[in-house]
């Protein structure tokens, strides 16, 4: 097996074609973040995107895209938005990420959303979390009934909020328009404000992240499409949801809403209205991503397990990274979580101001 590491711009049409065939052939790779067009969009939005390519008998058999963040460190491609990461291959058992790390001259490759089932990463998966999804393959009504009494009551409460908003403010409707730039700018403003208020590191202050979002929404490729859903109450925009779609899977990326209308639960209303529209759009599953928000326990049909860790090219460093990630995970469950998060937000904001935000 031969491994080469190439800038994304140097991959040939044969490389991209092989990547596409592997991704389409593997059900576990159906997520749009595994699409070659996603890596291409990231490469166009920023520099430093590279791809490790495994070849056997001159034919590509696996790909691992990443961003080089420094001379000796890397992270997943499009990491601020990417919620599903890992190897793109028909058979990952023979392709080891540590070999790619060494071939790239890296000391470490960090990751935070690698599929737990990708066994090639197993030695480096130090922390795991759940990524929620809605199963709409049998329609919205079946999804709603299958969630049980508690969830059905919660969903009914959401639609009660919608009806109340309609009476008080006017017609409630959902529009789908990926070219609605004012709506996107309002969504990003809502999320930026939320990050700053809660002390969460804000990716939307980074120029290339916004450029990437623009490119994804401009994409109309058959197997990677950006979609922007907006919820309007009367003449007022109440919420917005930016997604990427691959085939019948819709991956939520950014959800925001007008805080002045929070009593109307616009985020929940928009999500349920999109779920209702899924059948007419040919969507059978909506991925909500990771995070411990309590509403996901009520709405999720199930969960995928995703992992966080670091692939080290030097075995002696593995215990250090393992200890670091597990300590960081334990801090999340203590009162120190908030000040640590604020420190990370301050560090990112400082890097952005100094021109090193990516």
358 part of a folded domain: no
Percentage of the chain lying above the pLDDT 90 cut: 73
Instruction: Let me know whether 182 and 308 are in one domain.
Output: no
Read off the pLDDT of residues 249-259 as tens digits, 9 standing for 90 and up.
999 999 999 99
Instruction: Let me know whether 14 and 99 are in one domain.
Output: yes
Q: How confident is the model at residue 227 (pLDDT cuts 50, 70, 90)?
A: very high
Instruction: Let me know whether 141 and 61 are in one domain.
Output: no
Instruction: Let me know whether 298 and 337 are in one domain.
Output: no
Q: Are 42 and 67 in contact (CB under 8 A)?
A: yes
Q: Map residue 89 onto helix, strand or coil.
A: strand
Residue 101: HSE in the Cβ half-sphere, 13 Å Cα cutoff = 23
Q: Are 112 and 325 in contact (CB under 8 A)?
A: no
pLDDT of residue 293: 76
333 part of a folded domain: yes
Number of separate domains in the chain: 2
15 part of a folded domain: yes
Q: Which domain holds residue 245?
A: 133-303
Q: What is the pTM of this model?
A: 0.90
Q: Give the CATH number of the domain where residue 241 resides.
A: 3.40.630.30
Q: Which of 329, 288, 294, 293 is nearest to 308 (CA)?
A: 329
Instruction: Let me know whether 9 and 43 are in one domain.
Output: yes
Give the Cβ contact number of residue 200 at 10 Å. 15
Q: Name which of 223-227, 321-325, 333-337 the model is least confident about.
A: 333-337
341-351 mean pLDDT? 49
Distance CA 66, CA 73 (A): 10
Instruction: Let me know whether 270 and 157 are in one domain.
Output: yes
Instruction: Let me know whether 287 and 310 are in one domain.
Output: no
Backbone angles phi, psi at 173, to 5 degrees: -145, 160
Instruction: Let me know whether 170 and 308 are in one domain.
Output: no
Read off the pLDDT of residues 45-66 as tens digits, 9 standing for 90 and up.
998 999 999 999 999 999 999 9
52 part of a folded domain: yes
Q: What residues have CB less than 8 Å from 148, skipping those under 6 apart? A: none
Instruction: Let me know whether 190 and 234 are in one domain.
Output: yes
Instruction: Let me know whether 102 and 241 are in one domain.
Output: no
105-111 mean pLDDT? 94
Residue 62 CA: distances (Å) to CA of 22, 23, 51, 227: 8, 10, 10, 29
Read off the pLDDT of residues 19-28 as tens digits, 9 standing for 90 and up.
999 998 898 9
Instruction: Let me know whether 324 and 285 are in one domain.
Output: no
pLDDT of residue 273: 97
Distance CA 302, CA 287 (A): 10
Instruction: Let me know whether 290 and 163 are in one domain.
Output: yes
337 part of a folded domain: yes
């Amino acid at each position: 097996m031969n491994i080469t590491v190439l800038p994304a711009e140097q991959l040939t049409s044969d490389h991209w074609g092989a990547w596409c065939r592997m991704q389409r052939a593997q059900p576990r790779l159906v997520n749009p973040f595994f699409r070659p067009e996603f890596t291409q969009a990231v490469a166009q939005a920023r520099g430093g995107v590279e791809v490790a390519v495994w070849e056997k008998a001159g034919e590509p058999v696996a790909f691992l895209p990443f961003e080089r963040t420094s001379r000796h460190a890397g992270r997943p491609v499009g990491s601020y938005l990417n919620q599903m990461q890992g190897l793109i291959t028909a058979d990952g058992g023979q392709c080891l990420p540590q070999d790619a790390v060494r071939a790239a001259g890296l000391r470490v490759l960090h990751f935070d959303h690698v599929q737990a089932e990708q066994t090639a990463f197993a030695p480096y998966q130090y922390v795991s979390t759940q990524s929620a999804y809605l199963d709409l393959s049998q329609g919205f009504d079946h999804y709603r009934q299958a969630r049980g009494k508690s969830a059905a009551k919660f969903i009914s409460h959401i639609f009660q909020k919608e009806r109340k908003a309609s009476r008080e403010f006017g017609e409630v409707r959902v529009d789908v328009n990926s070219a609605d730039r004012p709506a996107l700018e309002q969504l990003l403003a809502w999320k930026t404000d939320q990050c700053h208020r809660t002390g969460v590191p804000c990716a939307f202050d980074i120029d290339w992240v916004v450029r990437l979002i623009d490119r994804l929404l401009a994409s109309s490729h058959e197997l990677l499409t950006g979609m922007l859903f907006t919820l309007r109450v009367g003449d007022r925009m109440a919420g917005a949801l930016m997604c990427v779609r691959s085939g019948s899977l819709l991956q939520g990326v950014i959800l925001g809403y007008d805080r002045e209308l929070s009593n109307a639960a616009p985020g929940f209303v928009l999500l349920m209205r999109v779920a209702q529209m899924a059948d007419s759009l040919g969507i059978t599953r909506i991925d909500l991503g990771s995070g411990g928000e309590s509403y996901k326990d009520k709405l999720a049909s199930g969960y995928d397990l995703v992992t966080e860790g670091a692939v080290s090219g030097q075995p002696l460093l593995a215990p250090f990274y393992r200890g670091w990630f597990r300590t960081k995970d334990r801090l999340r469950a203590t009162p120190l979580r908030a000040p640590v998060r604020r420190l990370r937000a301050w560090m990112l904001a400082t890097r952005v101001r100094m021109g090193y935000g990516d």
